[in-house]
Amino acid sequence: MRVLRRGDGGPAVAEVRSTLAALGLMPAVGGVHDQFDQVMEHAIRTFQQQRGLITDGLIGPATYRALRDATYQLGGRPLAYLVSAPITGDDVVTLQERMLELGYDAGRPNGVFGHQTEAALRNFQRDYGLTVDGICGPETIRGLRQLSPRARGGRPVLLREQERVRRSGPRLTGKRIVIDPGHGATDTGVAVEGVNESELMWDLARRLEGRMVATGMEALLSRGPDQCPDESERAAFANEAGADLVLSLHSDGNGSPFAQGVASFHFGTGNGTTSTLGEAMAGLIQREIAKRTGLRDCGAHPKTWELLRLTRCPAVRIEIGYLTNQDDRRRLSDPAFRDIVAEGIVVAVKRLYLLGENDQPTGSFTFADVLAHELAKAE
């Protein structure tokens, strides 16, 4: 689809306007309105902010998909697991959250009706004496409406994620980490004065890979040097590999040369649903990188980006420095700096699996300490 922006007009714009009105983000007025004006741009930005999307006021594929998903309410259409083209939408999120509240493991509430959602639904149907067909149709909806909602909290699936890590223990040996260097091939990412994001991140990925392997972890790269899989292919790779953790490496760019620093992103909807471990990992990475490199700490934030949403294990996307900022660009161009970043990330991963045990102050844990710790555990 074509990206829609302020100044555009036509039937596609009219359709989005009516969706925004239905969502209560724009006044619903009569007549023909097919112009992408300032009011509409503001509504799009608000919507993007609510959804954890990039707030650029443009309607590209991700925003368009989120708008379409937002129009579905539970009960408005039957839901089932379609293997070849899984159903997505806000109605699926509501169903998943209801299943979770009732104690059924429907997976992370990501709005995709997958096999786990179906399995949870079948268990619910069995327990409540409904037809066990894995389809959320009128009978199941009636069943769900009759149940009083239980107290919120708990979020069993996200707690289970954390429990799995706790049980797997503080050793790094045997952990399988997918390192995802952003962009690739003809997609260079941010490119300024001959420095480009895809090459830098490829180099950083290799440095990180070497250190991870040295500490006994299994490190897999999500792409080759000349490939650029899309976000869902990268997520599928991690899922098929049975990854324990996904680390996606990027640098940022901005219209302002003053924007600088490091930021990390984990799965979360911004209204309470969050990957506990993803959030913990993002926080640890922020602390270690900011402390070791002096890059400005721009914080850890919940997002619903494809890669974060579709991976079954905790995933963190790190935006390391702004290539449009002279200081950040100079630092990232230095291989020694990229070594420091790689070490900071390895230490952050180690801290995640220690879960607060043997805690040492941020920035003081060295790569040598991590190696020594692993060797001591191995004895």
Return the amino acid letter for 290: A
Decide: is 250 part of the binding site for Zn ion (CB under 5 A).
yes
Complex with Zn ion: residue 182 or 278, whichever CB lies closer: 182
Q: What phi and psi values does residue 277 have, to the nearest 5 degrees?
A: -75, -35
Contact stretch for Zn ion (CB under 5 A) within 56-64, 118-126, 176-184, 218-226: 176-184
Of 52-60, 74-82, 204-212, 244-252, the segment contacting Zn ion by CB under 5 A is: 244-252
**Least distance to Zn ion, CB of residue 265, Å:** 11
By beta-carbon proximity to Zn ion, the closer residue of 134 and 182 is 182
Q: What are phi and psi of 190, to 5 degrees?
A: -70, 130
Which of 144/295 has CB closer to Zn ion? 295
- The pair of structure tokens assigned to 118 is 């179906």
Residue pair 142/131 in contact by the 8 Å Cβ criterion: no
Smallest distance from Zn ion to CB 341, Å:
15
Residue placing its CB nearer to Zn ion in the complex, 89 or 189: 189
321 near Zn ion, judged by CB under 5 A:
no
List C-alpha distances in Å: 343 to 207, 347, 361: 9, 6, 15
Q: How far is the CB of 213 from Zn ion (least distance, A)?
A: 25
Minimum separation from the CB atom of position 187 to Zn ion (A): 9
DSSP string, 277-319: HHHHHHHHHHHHHHHHH---EEEEEEE--HHHHH-SS-EEEEE
Q: Which residues fall within 8 angstroms of residue 89, CB to CB, at 6 or more apart?
A: 68, 69, 70, 71, 72, 111
Per-residue contact string for residues 179-218; x = within reach of Zn ion by CB under 5 A = ---x------x-----------------------------
Closest to Zn ion by CB, 121 or 200: 200
**239 and 312 Cβ atoms separated by less than 8 Å:** yes
Cβ 250 to Zn ion, closest distance in Å? 3
Residue least distant from Zn ion (Cβ) = 250
Owner of token pair 């714009």: 13
Contact (Cβ atoms closer than 8 angstroms) between residue 299 and residue 232: no
User: Rounded to the nearest whole angstrom, what is the least distance from the CB of residue 252 to Zn ion in the complex?
Assistant: 7
Name the residue nearer to Zn ion (CB basis): 15 or 203.
Answer: 203
Question: How many residues line the site for Zn ion (CB under 5 A)?
Answer: 3
C-beta of 317 vs 351, nearer to Zn ion: 317
State the minimum distance, in angstroms, from the CB of residue 198 to Zn ion: 8
CB nearer Zn ion, residue 17 or residue 250: 250
152, burial (CB in 10 Å: exposed 0-12, middle 13-18, buried 19+): exposed
Least CB distance to Zn ion at residue 62 (A): 14
Considering the complex, state which of residue 75 and residue 189 has its C-beta at the smaller distance from Zn ion. 189
Other Cβ atoms within 10 Å of 151 Cβ, number: 6
Shortest CB 189 distance to Zn ion, Å: 4
Contact 377, 371 (CB under 8 A): no
Tokens of 271: 């209204």
Q: With contacts defined by CB under 5 A, name the span among 60-68, 243-251, 274-282, 366-374 that binds Zn ion.
A: 243-251
The 126-165 site mask, x for binding Zn ion (CB under 5 A), equals ----------------------------------------
Stretch that binds Zn ion, among 41-49, 153-161, 242-250, 286-294 (CB under 5 A): 242-250
Select 248 or 273, whichever has its Cβ closest to Zn ion: 248
Q: Within positions 57 to 116, which residues make up the interface with Zn ion, using CB under 5 A?
A: none
For the sheet containing 297-303, what is the strand order?
218-221, 176-181, 245-252, 315-322, 262-267, 297-303
Q: Which stretch of DSSP H or E encloses residue 265?
A: strand 262-267
Nearest of 40, 29, 50, 31 to residue 5 by alpha carbon = 40
Contact 197, 190 (CB under 8 A): yes
Instruction: List residues near Zn ion by CB under 5 A.
Output: 182, 189, 250
